[in-house]
Amino acid sequence: MRRLLILTVLLALAAGCVLDLHSNGIVDIFGSLFEVLDPSTESVQQPL
Amino acid sequence: MRAFAALLRKELRQHGPTALAFAGVLIAWAIVLYNFKERWDDLIPPLLILPMGFTPLWFLWRAYQSLRAEWSGRHAHLLLALPVPGWYLTLSKFLVLLLEVGLYAAVHAGAIYLVAVHDDLRHFSSPYLSDSVGNAFIRATLWTAFRTVLLLVPHGILILAAAYGIIHVSWLASRLLPLSRGRRIVSVLILAGLGWMMWRGAWLLGLALSWLPRIPVAQGMWIEGRSADALWLIHSTVTVAAGPVVGLLLLTAALYAAGSWLLEREVEL
């Protein structure tokens, strides 16, 4: 019974993945994490 | 701890010779490229990068094989009977795999240095910089590149640990099916689900932990200017928010705990 429950939870994640892909699209899913990561560059100039 | 060391030695004995043989092939490939770099001028960058592209794929394949081989080789009953926590097994396998990938990465880095950087540095000359300033600049640039590698290594290890955890748990969970039929498709579905959970989880935790300070991930240094009188040294640092990184770290730890629990309590031969 417990094994069935574990498998159901894990397969529900797969279903969540499919639903998310269907409603938001792969570009949005990938982009969202990079948006939160928010990479930025800080530069310091020094005369030679 | 002695049991953990024994497991590590077992993994090293199992995979060490293959890893050393592959590293030898990569070194031979670098030597060939170094000797033919004048003749194959344009082909050198893709030929240099080609084996690097296979390393992540090799890591994923080996992560999958590391558990499968125990079951197909019928050693699994020995492993499951050992009086050690499940995470000993997972971590020992991951560490040896990390060592293997680290060895390939070091060989790749050496190959890039030898083929693409070494000779250019020896013959470096600039109309704008005196030899002493030019040499100091090169040393500083190499040091910056080295620091970037040091900054990126922990992030790389975290991503590999997450990927290993996903493959490990999906394979173990597929063993919960009573029949061997359908295990492969269930394993692939769980793999996709866990991959998605980690990605979205890191995103959500990143939003929740947005108050954490930013962390540097790469540094660069170069010279800009139009004439010898107006040169600028530009020192630049790329930073990212720490939230998603810490989020991924927490999720990976949870995944390893789940894998350990499955291995100790649920999985059978």
Average pLDDT over residues B14-42: 86
More confident residue, B222 or B94: B94
Q: How far apart are CA B206 and CA B190, in angstroms?
A: 23
What is the pLDDT, as a whole number, of residue B254? 95
Q: Quick check: B240 and A39 CB within 8 A?
A: yes
For A13, the closest of B197, B232, B236 (CB atoms) is: B197
Q: Which residues pair with B231 in a beta bridge?
A: B225
Please tell me the predicted confidence (pLDDT) of residue B83: 78
| pLDDT level of residue B101 (50, 70, 90 thresholds) | very high
Question: If pLDDT is split at 50, 70 and 90, which confidence band does B200 have?
Answer: very high
Is residue B248 a contact partner of residue B157, using CB atoms and an 8 Å limit?
no
Task: Write the CA distances from B65 to B23, B36, B227, B238, integer angstroms.
Answer: 19, 36, 58, 36
Task: Give the range with max mean pLDDT: B111-125, B138-152, B166-180.
Answer: B166-180
What is the rounded average pLDDT of the residues B143-149?
A: 85
For residue A42, what are the β-bridge partners? Answer: B237
Query: Would you list which residues of chain A are within 8 Å, Cβ to Cβ, of chain B?
Result: 2-3, 6-7, 10-17, 20, 29-30, 32-33, 36-48
Average pLDDT over residues B94-118: 88
Q: What is residue B228's predicted lDDT score, i.e. its pLDDT?
A: 67
Cβ separation of A33 and B202 shorter than 8 Å?
yes
The whole-number pLDDT of residue B180 equals 76
Quick one: average pLDDT of B28-42? 83
Q: What's the rounded mean pLDDT across residues B84-101? A: 89
Cβ–Cβ of A16/B193 closer than 8 Å?
yes
Contact B128, B221 (CB under 8 A): no
Rounded to a whole number, what is the distance in Å from the CA of A47 to chain B's nearest CA? 4
Q: How far is B157 from chain A (nearest CA, A)?
A: 18
Q: Tell me if ipTM is over 0.85.
A: yes
- When pLDDT is averaged across residues B60-86 and rounded to a whole number, the result is 80
CA distances from residue B71 to B17, B74, B77, B172, B255 in whole angstroms, order as listed: 21, 5, 8, 11, 21
Question: Does residue B122 have a pLDDT over 70?
Answer: no
| Stretch A9-30: mean pLDDT | 92
**What is the overall mean pLDDT for chain B?**
86
The confidence score (pLDDT) of residue B183 equals 86
Measured in angstroms, the CA of B137 and the nearest CA of chain A are apart by 11
B38 vs A27: which has the higher pLDDT: A27
Helix, strand, or coil (residue A28): helix
Q: Give the pLDDT score at B225.
A: 73
CB contact under 8 A, B196 and A13: yes
Distance from A15 to chain B by nearest Cα, in Å?
Answer: 7
pLDDT tens column, B166-194: 999 999 998 888 877 888 899 999 999 99
Q: According to the model, what pLDDT value does residue B68 have?
A: 82
Pick the residue from chain A with its C-alpha nearest to B217. Answer: A39
Question: Choosing among A6, A36, A44, which should be mutated to test the B contact, i.e. which has the most B CBs within 10 A?
Answer: A36
Least CB–CB distance from A33: residue in B231, B234, B244:
B244
* Total beta-carbon pairs less than 8 A apart between chain A and chain B: 104
> Is a pLDDT exceeding 80 seen at residue B41?
no
> In this predicted model, what pLDDT tens digit does every residue of A20-38 receive, in sequence order?
999 999 899 989 999 999 9
Alpha-carbon torsion B64, B65, B66, B71, what sign?
positive
Which residues make beta-bridge pairs with B215?
B240
> At residue B206, does pLDDT exceed 90?
yes
How far is residue B150 CA from its own chain's centroid? 13
Q: How confident is the model at residue B123 (pLDDT cuts 50, 70, 90)?
A: low
Closest residue in chain B to residue A32, using alpha carbons only: B203
B2-17 core/surface letters (b: 16 or more CB in 10 A; e: else): eebeebbeebbebbee
